[in-house]
Amino acid sequence: MRQWIALSLLCTISLLLPISASAACESPIKFGALTWESGQFTSGVLKYIAEEGYGCTVEEVPGAGPALDTALSQNDIQVIGEQWVGRSPIMEQAIEQNKVAVIGDTLKGGATQGWYVPDYVLEENPGLRSYQDLPKYAELFKDPEDPSKSRFMNCPSGWTCEIFNTRLLKHTGLDSTF
């Protein structure tokens, strides 16, 4: 496992792998095929390093989050290149049971989930400071597919953050505008 630890720390990329996984490359290393762009990028970098740097054979295993989490905890796959902490009870349990190890950080210091507006928009619109101000500035976010509404860029469908954001939009009344 030392090779994987050195690999992840060198790249400062987070990954999850079973405690029992071997980095000796005796058999193909199976990566969970992630469906979001940052996860695909991170996995691509890790696969490239494993193949080109260590001479390993790698495979991608498709699946949804819970299926890949379960596969990792059972060592049916060996790497998930990116995981949002606290997103998966399956992963939390596997980590607690020492079946899976989290190694490295994709983003130094982590990331905070929230609603973000680019700085240049805020600089050009000094009155936009909180979610309560959004209806007054809705025209800045017009949805080209439905000009009667403004666009809110949500998380991928079905993710916990998408469900949370959709509910928050409803509970704040912003769903009538966005």
Q: What is the pLDDT of residues 44-60, one digit of tens each?
A: 999 999 999 989 999 99
Do 98 and 168 have their domain in common?
Answer: no
Do 46 and 89 have their domain in common?
Answer: yes
**H helices present in the chain, as ranges:** 2-11, 37-48, 54, 65-73, 89-96, 119-124, 160-172
Do 132 and 157 have their domain in common?
Answer: yes
Do 93 and 135 have their domain in common?
Answer: no
Number of domains in the chain: 2
Identify whether the C-beta of residue 46 lies closer than 8 Å to the C-beta of residue 79.
yes
Q: What is the distance between the alpha carbons of residues 168 and 173, in angstroms, rounded to a whole number? A: 8
Tens of pLDDT along 5-38? 323 323 333 455 554 444 567 789 999 999 888 8
* CATH assignment at residue 32: 3.40.190
- 3-class secondary-structure state, position 132: helix
pTM (2 d.p.): 0.62
The answer to whether residue 40 is domain-embedded is yes
Do 124 and 63 have their domain in common?
Answer: no
- Domain boundary, last residue among 48, 71, 103: 103
Q: What is the distance between the alpha carbons of residues 30 and 60, in angstroms, rounded to a whole number? A: 6
- Domain boundary, last residue among 79, 103, 127: 103
Identify whether the C-beta of residue 52 lies closer than 8 Å to the C-beta of residue 85.
no
Please work out, in degrees rounded to the nearest 5, the angle formed at the alpha carbon of residue 18 by the alpha carbons of 8 and 49. Answer: 30
The answer to whether residue 111 is domain-embedded is no
Do 10 and 89 have their domain in common?
Answer: yes
Tens of pLDDT along 74-125? 999 999 998 876 778 888 899 999 999 888 877 777 777 789 889 999 999 9
Do 124 and 163 have their domain in common?
Answer: yes
Residue 30: phi and psi, rounded to 5, are -95, 125
